[in-house]
Amino acid sequence: MSLLWISAGMIALGLGVVGVFLPLVPTVPFLLLAAWCFSRSSPRLHNWLLRHPVFGPSIRDWRDSGAISRRGKRMASISIAAVFGLSIVLQLPPLLLAVQALVLGLVLIFIWTRPAA
């Protein structure tokens, strides 16, 4: 079972790293998933991820207080606006745009109601 958790953690970590370079791929949710998987399988990998100078602060902020940095909130909002703008430019059907607007609006509410790190 430990190998399964390590594998899942590595996949999530890989997706999180991809998210650093591709603005529409979320980084922190994948890092949180990786930390959770590593906490169940490898204390060494879990501690490495928590101490990582780039990835660690976001994970610790969320773990300690459910907080999202102001920069993270701004970047998420910009990404959400870009995705919705792209959907409009691509002339997606109005029903799909309405569903997307509802879901993305709820995501924004969630993000902006979290405490700031």
Q: Considering the entire predicted model, what is its pTM? A: 0.79
**Which tens digit of pLDDT belongs to each residue from 56-76?**
999 999 999 999 999 889 988
106 compared with 79, residue with greater pLDDT:
106
- Whether the pLDDT of residue 19 is over 90: the answer is no
Tell me the mean pLDDT in the region 102-115.
Answer: 95
Alpha-carbon separation of residue 34 from 14, 25, 99, 107 (angstroms): 9, 15, 29, 21
Q: Which two tokens stand for residue 79?
A: 């990404």
Q: What's the rounded Cα separation, in Å, for the pair 36 and 5?
A: 9
pLDDT of residue 24: 72
Instruction: Of 76, 62, 59, 65, give the one whose Cα is nearest residue 111.
Output: 76
Q: Determine the Cα–Cα distance for residues 32 and 12; give it in Å rounded to an integer.
A: 9
